[in-house]
């Protein structure tokens, strides 16, 4: 009986210790120091991330919408694009645009799947799938 009381007492003390203790978490962040700012207040560390540098990490890749498309497709992020081509799955170039167009009229194309190729200033070629309804 005495053992049972001692075990209960120890469990109670352990529970009180756990409930009244303050836990501190510490993290080791190894990132470029100009990208974040660490502040310490009352034992807690907070990290503030500057959004000025996020544009460097986000790749501005050309794209289009909507997909699937009915007649008009809208192009996005065309700053670095030299040429846009709509190509059939057999490899035939159906539409070739070398200017900074924001839209392409696909009304003359039949329903099906096509590729849009973006030729970039740096020599890269990005191909994306397009579905025409």
In tens digits, the chain (133 residues) has pLDDT values of 666 666 777 777 776 666 676 555 555 545 454 445 555 555 555 566 555 555 555 567 888 888 899 999 998 877 788 899 999 999 999 999 987 888 989 999 999 999 999 998 888 888 999 999 9
Cβ neighbours for 127, distance < 8 A, ≥ 6 positions apart:
115, 116, 117, 118
Tell whether 70 is covered by a domain: yes
Name the pTM for this structure.
Answer: 0.55
Tell whether 33 is covered by a domain: no
Tell whether 31 is covered by a domain: no
Tell whether 96 is covered by a domain: yes
> 70 lies in which domain range?
63-132
Cβ neighbours for 26, distance < 8 A, ≥ 6 positions apart:
45
Tell whether 13 is covered by a domain: no
Supply the CATH number for residue 69's domain. 2.60.40.1930
């Amino acid at each position: 009986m005495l053992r049972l009381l001692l075990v209960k007492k120890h469990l109670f003390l352990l529970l009180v210790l756990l409930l009244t203790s303050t836990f501190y978490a510490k993290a080791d962040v190894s990132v470029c120091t100009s990208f974040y700012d660490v502040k310490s207040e009352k034992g807690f560390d907070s990290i503030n991330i500057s959004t000025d540098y996020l544009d460097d990490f986000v790749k501005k890749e050309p794209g289009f919408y909507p997909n699937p498309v009915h007649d008009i497709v809208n192009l996005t992020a065309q700053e670095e694009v030299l040429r846009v081509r709509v190509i059939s799955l057999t490899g035939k170039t159906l539409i070739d645009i070398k200017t900074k167009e924001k839209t392409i009229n696909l009304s003359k194309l039949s329903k099906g799947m096509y590729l849009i190729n973006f030729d970039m200033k740096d020599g890269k070629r990005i191909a994306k799938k397009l579905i025409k309804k």
